[in-house]
Chains A and B, each alone.
Chain A
Amino acid sequence: MKLSVWTYEGPPHVGAIRVATGMEKVHLVLHAPQGDTYADLLFTMIERRNHRPPVTYTTFQARDLGSDTASLFKSACHDAYNRFKPDLLLVGASCTAELIQDDPGGLAEALDLPIPVVALELPSYQRKENFGADETFFQIVKKLTTPQPRTENISCNLIGPTALGFRHRDDVEELEKVIQNLGIEVNVVAPMGSEPSDIVNLGAAHFNVLMYPETGESACRYLEKSLEQPFTKTVPIGVGALSDFIAEIETITGLTNLQNKVASRLPWYSASVDSTYLTGKRVFIFGDGSHVISAARIAKDEIGFEVVGLGCFNREMARPVRAFGKTLGCEALITEDYLEVEGAISELAPELILGTQMERHIGKRLGIPCAVISAPVHVQDFPARYSPQMGPEGANVIFDTWVHPLVMGLEEHLLTMFREDFEFSDANGPSHHAAHQPTSVQKENRSEEPVPKENSSNVIWMTDAEKELRKIPFFVRGKAKRNTERYAVDHGVIEISIDTLYEAKAHYAR
């Protein structure tokens, strides 16, 4: 057993629903108790879909347990087929039905429906949402694809977008533009936006673009093996990654001189003097593996931040994230426990967090600005406006999104110089961002409230030093406090004076 309050990922059948909901003319019959229908509202509310997800739940009850649940499942399949007339039926079990061992695949097979049926194995007690999506799409592809004559012009499939994916809607649109600009046709986008007949047709493309490894990698590997379609390995988030991605396409297709066909404003914005203050800002990055790797690269190479920590919650991506962390000199944090993430963040005291909805809240609690780069996300990260992460426009969106929560250059200096100005107190946070005031810092900052004297290592802050500490701008104060205390402990200092503060500052000077 594992005690848990918040989970980054849902159970695997939610991944299956994400695939089914993204597609057309597909229906999923899920053997599950009534409460499991809660998953519908993720799609109707968070993603604001205007249709019910194409899922029938058997909603068996305690009194059905025994032989009855199997016939319930069969009649649910039957009714679902008759009512929705899908071209493909998916069947599977949620965690509870997995325990009663009804074998959805066998039961559905016995019905002899006139459409293909894909039986899903969703090991609920071992795997999670992303696995569920990846596996479901892989099984669909395996069932339906056949060798096809390649299209006359060079074409590709876009693989991996699903319902409830972070910015999948706009990434698809943006990437379609990019690909078409390169003179390449888009054959099929799947699973999102496709129907079973499109899946049959995947084989006509010359290669596959793997947009999201988390949800499309198994299918791409299968297509590589069975249909000899190579697939791209770089996720085109960020300017550098986009260029590598295009280089990959050049290698795959033999086309040349594709690079200068796309342009983003990020490089100039980042080079302009207004951005100088971003240099070396300390950033912590957490989310799903592929978004974290992309973000870390942008942070370091394209904006000039210092990546002080990174990690991911999906073990499937642990290896590449660890490897990438090494190149930055960081040990990657692979965990599903948000308390560990919070611990790491408060230890590192970064100036900016890039993460999920959870890290947004951790940031709020610790008074650290945050931008969202990965699922799981709340309703506000399914925006009405166009906001891709991929491609040139994605890079523009990312630049704006990440810089926005930070205190801007001039303001940063003024805050430091005039911190005694009562109308211009740093306790007010960034002037352009009133909605996300770092409340905990505000409290700490009120002059009647002393900086907490006690800490785990029992060093004591003397009044002068404490006052001096409060003069340090709030966005680096946490770090300064921690460094000074660590310095004091390391040097056997028990009472921290102003001198200790500045000795520590010199010691840790970067």
Chain B
Amino acid sequence: MPKDAPQLGCADSPILKERGQHEVFCGLTSIVWLHRKMQDAFFLVVGSRTCAHLLQSAAGVMIFAEPRFATAILEETDLAGMADAHEELDRNVSQLLSRRPDIKRLFLVGSCPSEVIKIDLSTVAEKLTEKYSPNVNVINFSGSGIETTFTQGEDACLEAVIRSLPSSEKTQLAVLGALPDIVQDQMMRLLEQLGLENVFVLPQVKFDDDVSIGANTHFICVQPFLGASYEEMVRRGAQPICANFPFGADGTTRWLWAIAERFDVSKAKFDKVVAAPKLRAEQAIAAVASDLRGKSVFFFPDSQLEIPLARFLAAECGMELTEVGSPFIHKSLVYADLADLPATTQISEGQDVDKQLDRVFDYNPDLTVCGLGLANPLESKGLSTKWAIELVFSPIHFYEQAADLASLFARPLKRADLLKVST
């Protein structure tokens, strides 16, 4: 570590907790990537026209590719009688399943309207599971904006999936979190090279994949937003492995090492496995990071990826952190990354967007990471921005993506230099 490195350790510094207007997506948005990952699943949102409109706005052009999600839009008559709502849902589901016989898992996704009028989707799910078993398993979770923020939708979904899994005493490793296929394959190769057997990923790609959990299941999260799933695993007796999240060369190494330690892999073997990809990642990052070194960055809350990503930008790319905002902070999950942040970093949880905007103008950072509702307005005021949703949709984990991750942040800065006409 260089001598002039800032003093590290944010784990115990005070967190600024704010309550005001939140400028974030609701959990329904997670469906946009979850449905691609779970190939035999259909996501049926029980909600309003707003929910349907949100999904099509967030899914963009994907909406035209026969997606495996839809909204059962509540109408006037559904608000009046609950019994009718259940019947209506029954009718919609049978229509859907007869049109899509390939569906093995049906997720009934709760929304704000369905939660507020208290449609009991979990009971409906149980009844429907009885009705359609063994062909279709019906599971309920909520992606409502009153309960979940953006990536928490994946957490709620995964929590419900875990709850439905059978028990077993097998010694095994579960990796929690949906990843792009190519990244998942890289991860599995590394774990295999470390000599691990019985590794599986949740959510599982196919319902038929044979997975179970119990006291000899060790698990690790690949995403920081899986707090509820983490707790559900613990409740099922599984044993957590906690580490930095696998962003960058160092993050990936520490994440892998935590697993290796748990499974008694020798240091020598570990070093042998990671040496080449680690070096590759370090060199690739170095090429990109020269554009980032010494630049300041500000994170608006969005996906809960903010703390691990801030760690990566500060520790591996030499950026300076101003404020790092996160919609929620599950300390047990992000402890390691939090502890590695420079002590001067302002950590904030929750949001009052107008006050936070005042702060971003005070800091006047070189780069601001924020949502699409804020990005162009901030650009027009002279701030360079990186829109945050891309960080959820792009392959950014593990060694081979480390430089791509750094480029996502470097590109807006480079672009600002390139453009010779002012707005």
Contact = CB atoms under 8 A, between A and B. Distances in A.
B49 A41 contact: no
Interface string B375-391: 11101100000000000
Given A5-B63, A37-B23, A41-B371, A10 B73 contact: no
Interface in A445-491: none
Contacts of B79: 99, 125
A217 to B, nearest CB: 22
Interface string A205-246: 000000000000000000000000000000000000000000
Contacts of B147: 61-62
A35 B56 contact: no
Contact of B92 (A3, A33, A49): A3
Contacts of B178: none
B73 A38 contact: no
B75 A34 contact: no
Nearest to A33: B145
Q: Which of B64, B88, B147 has the most CB of A within 10 A?
A: B64
Contacts of A65: 116, 146
A44 B53 contact: no
Q: Which of B20, B112, B423 has the most CB of A within 10 A?
A: B112
A299 to B, nearest CB: 25
Contacts of B63: 5-6
Contacts of B58: 38
Interface string B152-190: 000000000000000000000000000000000000000
A64 B116 CA distance: 12
Contact of A126 (B29, B76, B85, B373): B76
A76 B117 CA distance: 24
A58 B372 CA distance: 19
Contacts of B57: 38-39, 41-42
B50 interface: yes
A56 B49 contact: no
Contacts of A57: 21-22
Interface in A1-31: 1-7, 9-11, 13-14
A364 to B, nearest CB: 8
Given A3-B96, A45-B376, A96-B112, A33 B26 contact: yes
A95 B48 CA distance: 7
Contacts of B28: 35
A95 B78 CA distance: 13
A83 interface: yes
B52 interface: yes
A34 B52 contact: no
Given A34-B22, A58-B21, A76-B21, A95 B50 contact: yes
A59 B145 CA distance: 8
A51 interface: yes
Interface string A61-75: 110110000000000
Contact of A7 (B24, B56, B85, B377): B56
A167 interface: no
A211 B22 CA distance: 36
Interface string A111-136: 00000000000001110100000000
B340 to A, nearest CB: 29
B145 A1 contact: no
Q: Which of B21, B29, B71 has the most CB of A within 10 A?
A: B21
A345 B379 CA distance: 42
Contact of A361 (B22, B29, B64, B377): B64
A321 B22 CA distance: 42
A36 interface: yes
A385 interface: no
B70 A100 contact: no
Interface in B46-88: 46, 48-50, 52-54, 56-58, 63-64, 67, 69-76, 78-79, 85, 88
A60 interface: yes
Contacts of B50: 10-11, 13, 36, 94-96, 124
A34 B24 CA distance: 6
B115 interface: yes
Interface in B83-103: 85, 88-89, 91-92, 95-96
B374 interface: yes
Nearest to A45: B372
Contacts of A37: 21-25, 373
B125 to A, nearest CB: 16
Contacts of A1: 46, 72-75, 78, 85, 88-89, 91-92
Contact of B146 (A2, A10, A62, A358): A62
Interface residues of B, number: 61
A363 B95 CA distance: 27
Contacts of A99: 79, 113, 116-117
Contacts of A96: 48, 50, 112-113, 116, 145-146
Interface in A298-326: none
B322 interface: no
B354 interface: yes
Q: Which of A2, A42, A56, A358 has the most CB of B within 10 A?
A: A2
Nearest to A47: B376
Nearest to A61: B146
Contacts of B376: 44-45, 48-50
A196 to B, nearest CB: 22
A14 B85 CA distance: 26
A40 interface: yes
A3 B72 contact: yes
A56 B147 CA distance: 20
B296 interface: no
A127 to B, nearest CB: 9
B368 interface: no
A44 B88 CA distance: 37
Given A3-B96, A52-B374, A11 B113 contact: no
Contacts of A361: 64
Q: Which of B20, B57, B70, B146 has the most CB of A within 10 A?
A: B146
B116 A40 contact: no
A39 B74 CA distance: 20
Contacts of A33: 26, 112, 144-146
Q: Which of A40, A58, A99 has the most CB of B within 10 A?
A: A99
A440 to B, nearest CB: 14
A79 interface: yes
Contacts of B71: 3-5
Contacts of B146: 33-34, 60-62, 64-65, 96
Nearest to A99: B116
B419 to A, nearest CB: 15
A1 B79 CA distance: 10
A10 B55 CA distance: 11
A212 B92 CA distance: 36
Contacts of B304: none
Contact of B75 (A62, A76, A125): A125
Interface of A: 1-7, 9-11, 13-14, 33-42, 44-45, 48-52, 56-62, 64-65, 76, 79, 83, 94-96, 99-100, 124-126, 128, 358, 361
Given A5-B63, A40-B23, 7 more contacts: A1-B74, A33-B26, A37-B23, A44-B375, A49-B377, A95-B113, A124-B50
In the complex, the 9 A-B pairs of residues with the closest C-beta atoms, listed nearest first: A35-B26, A35-B145, A40-B373, A50-B380, A33-B145, A96-B112, A95-B48, A41-B372, A34-B22
30 contacts: A1-B73, A1-B75, A1-B85, A1-B89, A2-B75, A4-B70, A4-B72, A5-B63, A6-B64, A9-B49, A33-B145, A34-B24, A34-B26, A35-B28, A35-B145, A37-B21, A38-B54, A41-B371, A50-B379, A50-B380, A59-B20, A60-B146, A62-B115, A65-B116, A65-B146, A76-B21, A95-B113, A96-B48, A96-B50, A125-B79
